[in-house]
Amino acid sequence: MSLTAIIGGTGLTRLTQLEIQRREAPATPYGAPSSALTFGRLARRDFVFLARHGDPHTIPPHRINYRANLWALKQAGAEAVIAAAAVGGIGRDMGPGRLAIPHQIIDYTWGRASTFFEDGLDHVTHIDFTAPYNEHLRQRLIASARAAGLSVVDGGVYGCTQGPRLETAAEIARMERDGCDLVGMTGMPEAALARELELPYAACAIVANWAAGKSEGEITLAEIERHLARGMADFIELLICFAGSP
Ligand code: HPA
């Protein structure tokens, strides 16, 4: 039976629905992953869960060891990766509480260790990244959301910012002109590293707030937490359907 990895983001530090079998804290050539790996079952499917920001949630987006995380999941035998991603909504239909399965990425991050292909190479490697998310896995996530009775947006351009601060209104206006529908801080280099390891990867974006300048007033942590709690509950429903699907 194949093993599916879940990377939990802000609002999803533990996957309490898993029937836990074991935990492992693997070493990798890149150091330790953000958290121990939790192996378990959900609806008779095998999963391995990793908390992207650590457990407890203490690692900010720019300090996450993305290489160790992806390496550890690959080494554990994962055959696909589903990433949960808290985001701000930019596009008109991306209001708080929305679930979206993005299809494209624009990377605005800098200074992150973003490739496995840099040291000790016998040839320079350029992965194809035209479609950053695995289309088959994306469609399975969309079908699972619909089977769970959830409304989900098929597609969206995810803009990945450096953080940990939120964006200015002008930065969001520029991202909108660039074509971004969603803004988050952790989608890259995660997606690219998964591709380098030939791990099919797709994300479920959970909209926590309107992005800067898209609604009146400041963005508050209380607002983010409130919408994320609801969105993550929906994401779990999606996962349960995914786990039960053939
Ligand atoms: N910007 C970037 N990342 C985020 C946001 C946001 O507004 N909300 C949740 N993650």
The structural domains of the chain, ordered by start, are 3-244 (3.40.50.1580)
CB 49 within 8 A of CB 38: yes
Return phi, psi of residue 132, to 5°.
-70, -20
Q: Residues near ligand 1 with C-beta < 6 Å?
A: 86-88, 161, 166-167, 183-185, 208-209, 211
pLDDT of residue 88: 98
pLDDT of residue 197: 98
Q: Mean of the per-residue pLDDT values for the chain?
A: 96
Ligand 1 center–CA 176 separation, angstroms? 14
User: From CA 232, how far away is CA 75, in angstroms rounded?
Assistant: 27
The pick from 10, 64, 167 for probing ligand 1's pocket by mutation, whose C-beta has the most ligand atoms within 8 angstroms, reads 167
In angstroms, what CA-CA distances link 134 with 83, 93, 147, 187? 12, 23, 20, 14
**What mean pLDDT comes out for the span 206-219?**
94
Paired with 88 in beta bridges are 183, 209
Listed in sequence order, the DSSP H helices in 65-220 are: 66-75, 135-147, 169-178, 190-196
pLDDT in tens, 61-105: 999 999 999 999 999 999 999 999 999 999 999 999 999 999 999
Question: Global pTM?
Answer: 0.97
Atom 10 of ligand 1: nearest residue by CA position = 87
**167: DSSP letter:** P
User: From CA 229, how far away is CA 231, in angstroms rounded?
Assistant: 6
**What mean pLDDT comes out for the span 201-217?**
95
Residue list for the binding site for phosphate = 10, 52-53, 186
Map tokens 């280099």 to a residue: 189
For residue 185, the ligand 1 atom closest to its alpha carbon is: 3
Ligand 1 center–CA 109 separation, angstroms? 14
**What mean pLDDT comes out for the span 134-153?**
97
More confident of the two residues 123 and 178: 178
Atom 7 of ligand 1: nearest residue by CA position = 88
Atom 2 of ligand 1: nearest residue by CA position = 184
The answer to which of 99-103, 135-139, 214-218, 227-231 has the lowest mean pLDDT is 214-218
**52: DSSP letter:** T
Element (H, E) at 42: strand 37-42
Ligand 1 center–CA 183 separation, angstroms? 6
Q: What single letter denotes the amino acid at residue 88?
A: G
pLDDT of residue 122: 86
CB 158 within 8 A of CB 105: yes
Q: Is the predicted pLDDT of residue 1 greater than 80, yes or no?
A: no
pLDDT of residue 68: 98
Atom 9 of ligand 1: nearest residue by CA position = 87
Residue list for the binding site for substrate = 185, 209-211
Q: In the chain, pLDDT over 90 holds for what percent of residues?
A: 91
Ligand 1 center–CA 88 separation, angstroms? 4
- State both tokens at 189: 């280099």
- The number of angstroms, rounded, from the C-alpha of 109 to the middle of its chain's C-alpha atoms is 15
Q: Is the predicted pLDDT of residue 246 greater than 90, yes or no?
A: no
Ligand 1 center–CA 87 separation, angstroms? 4
- The number of angstroms, rounded, from the C-alpha of 82 to the middle of its chain's C-alpha atoms is 7
pLDDT in tens, 8-58: 998 899 998 999 999 999 999 999 999 999 999 999 899 999 999 999 999
pLDDT of residue 11: 87
Ligand 1 center–CA 63 separation, angstroms? 16
**3: DSSP letter:** E
Q: Confidence band (pLDDT; 50, 70, 90) for 225?
A: very high
Residue list for the binding site = 10, 52-53, 185-186, 209-211
For residue 219, the ligand 1 atom closest to its alpha carbon is: 7
